[in-house]
Chain A
Amino acid sequence: MSPAQFEPSQFGAVIAGARDGDARAVKALFRELQPRLLRFLSAQDSTAADDLAADVWVAVAAGIGRFDGEWPEFRAWVFAIARNRLADHRRTAVRRRTDVVDVSTFDDVANGDQTDNEALEKISGLRAAALITSMLTVEQSEVLLLRVLGDLDVDQVASIVRRSPNWVRVTQHRAVKTLAKRLGPKIVVMH
């Protein structure tokens, strides 16, 4: 996946601008990564995705001066922050025991059994992420979302989830097989 907001060769200038607080550079990074972050976070915790994404950007802004790498490493860094923030939020939620959630929140969650053509034609990025999460285990969905949304390779995902690359390959293979079986063939998605 190549960034839509800037070319990979421009990443050095973009990251340098973001370090200096340049609005154009920050917005380019934001437009490229924010939708993927929101999809990754909302697929695992739809209620706190926006707040968690905001926390991720604050952490990125605070640590971008120390970042050293290219665009793939930057993506891996940002999604690692997102995963850590999500883990922190889950620990806090467990201590709180209950979360007050509006009923309308569940209207946007895809039904895993709804796999007809009409439903998939309307699917959005958020809904696709939620669909994957509803069909897979937590580990499978996390690996698959990191690989697709973060455009990360096996080694990067293994580093983020603190597992071996082979475990990541096995998990993603099982996830793909499960999704292929559940979603079925000959489905054309219209955006």
Chain B
Amino acid sequence: MTIPPLSPEEAERLISAIGAEHTEHVAGLNAVLAALRSPGDGSELGGAEAALSAFTTAAAPSIVRASSPLTRPSIHKLLTARTLATIGVLTLVSAGAAAAAGGLPMPFAPSRPSASATTEVIESTDDETEATEVTETTVTELPTTAPTQEPTTSVEPSSTQDVGAAPAEPVIADVSVTESTEGIGPDVNGPAKFGLCTAFAAQSKHDANDTADDDATAAASDDAVPFQSLSDAAAAAGQTVEEFCADAVPGGSVQTPDGSKHSDDSEGSDDSDKSTSAGDDHGDSDASDSASEAGHGGDREKSNHGHTDASEKAAHPASQRHS
């Protein structure tokens, strides 16, 4: 039996199953193609659950990806707002704690105790022993506060509880106020020597000319810590104050006995000017140690043994000035 040749169009109709039902001469081919298109039986539908799990697994990350562009900016905004709020609260609480402790500079600290007032208290005491006792009383508290720097000793408990771990700055500021009650005066071997000598000479002239003045005032001036330091330094050098002041040169240079000039460490002076209240603490200790090295203030030296490391560091304490 010969089969008529199939045209391309007829082949296309057979493949597409369009109008091929009546082509009896290709009934066999038509039947095979129909079997190919038949719906699947049960044996061909296995693995549906595996496919479903694959779709479910693939769908889960896509859901996350679809939601992430919407949620990320919100999360970032929330985080930024929370971070800013936290920083603001911490700043306010720290500033409040510092203000309560009196560690803030003016005009934030309305009632900061001044070191000069405390110094005046010490200076007004004629008896050296009494002044030493005041100093000892002040400094004996230092080992309990300064080395450990525990915030609960000087900061208000409410501020500490609000912040959690309270910053140490307010405590240090408070300690500096406590230490600043000790009057030291400028270093007589440093750049203040000329000024001290000038003031001492003026005071001596004033005392000589005006003997009728109040003796108490004159005694208080003579007992002033800077003048005491000056006289002590002169005594340590085996000279009178006038002789000790003979080589004083204005401008921060001191003429040494051999004629050479000793330039002061300007960098150290800058540091002392820039130093914070915490730095002033060390400056006070160094200055007191310097005074003790000059052979004066043995009581102070004794009372400052809690700062032995600071005294060891005081290689050039003249740069530390007490305001």
Contacts and interface: CB of A to CB of B under 8 A. Distances in A.
Q: Is the interface of A mostly helix, strand, loop or mixed?
A: helix
B16 to A, nearest CB: 8
Given A21-B56, A64-B55, A65-B58, A132 B32 contact: yes
A168 to B, nearest CB: 11
Among B14, B38, B41, the one with the most A-chain Cβ atoms within 10 Å of its Cβ is B38
A81 interface: no
B36 A30 contact: no
Interface in B20-50: 24-29, 31-41, 44-48, 50
Contacts of B1: 184-185
Interface stretch (A33-41, A69-77, A85-93, A99-107): A33-41
B29 A183 contact: yes
Contacts of A48: none
Interface residues on B, range: 35 or more
A57 B54 contact: yes
B32 A185 contact: no
B6 A187 contact: no
Contacts of B44: 34-35, 38-39, 125-126
A18 B44 CA distance: 20
Interface residues on A, range: 35 or more
A99 to B, nearest CB: 21
Given A54-B51, A123-B32, A183-B28, A61 B57 contact: yes
A20 B59 contact: yes
A4 interface: yes
Contact of A180 (B12, B29, B50): B29
A8 B186 CA distance: 98
A180 B28 contact: yes
A1 to B, nearest CB: 6
Interface in A104-136: 115, 120, 123-129, 131-132
B47 A53 contact: yes
Interface in A31-55: 31, 34-36, 38-39, 50, 53-54
B32 A179 contact: yes
A176 B62 contact: no
Contact of A61 (B15, B25, B27, B51): B51
A31 B38 CA distance: 12
A54 B32 CA distance: 26
A150 B41 CA distance: 17
Given A65-B62, A148-B33, A191-B38, A35 B45 contact: yes
A148 B15 contact: yes
Interface in A140-191: 144-145, 147-149, 169, 172-173, 176-177, 179-181, 183-189, 191
B60 interface: yes
Given A31-B40, A125-B40, A148-B33, A180 B48 contact: no
Nearest to B13: A176
A43 B177 CA distance: 95
Contacts of A20: 59, 63
A39 B27 CA distance: 21
21 contacts: A1-B37, A18-B55, A21-B52, A21-B55, A23-B52, A31-B48, A35-B39, A35-B41, A39-B36, A61-B59, A62-B54, A124-B38, A125-B40, A128-B36, A129-B36, A132-B36, A173-B8, A183-B29, A183-B31, A186-B25, A187-B31
Interface of A: 1, 4, 18-21, 23, 26-27, 30-31, 34-36, 38-39, 50, 53-54, 57-58, 61-62, 64-65, 115, 120, 123-129, 131-132, 144-145, 147-149, 169, 172-173, 176-177, 179-181, 183-189, 191
Given A39-B36, A125-B41, 10 more contacts: A35-B40, A35-B44, A38-B40, A124-B35, A176-B15, A180-B26, A181-B3, A185-B24, A189-B34, A191-B34
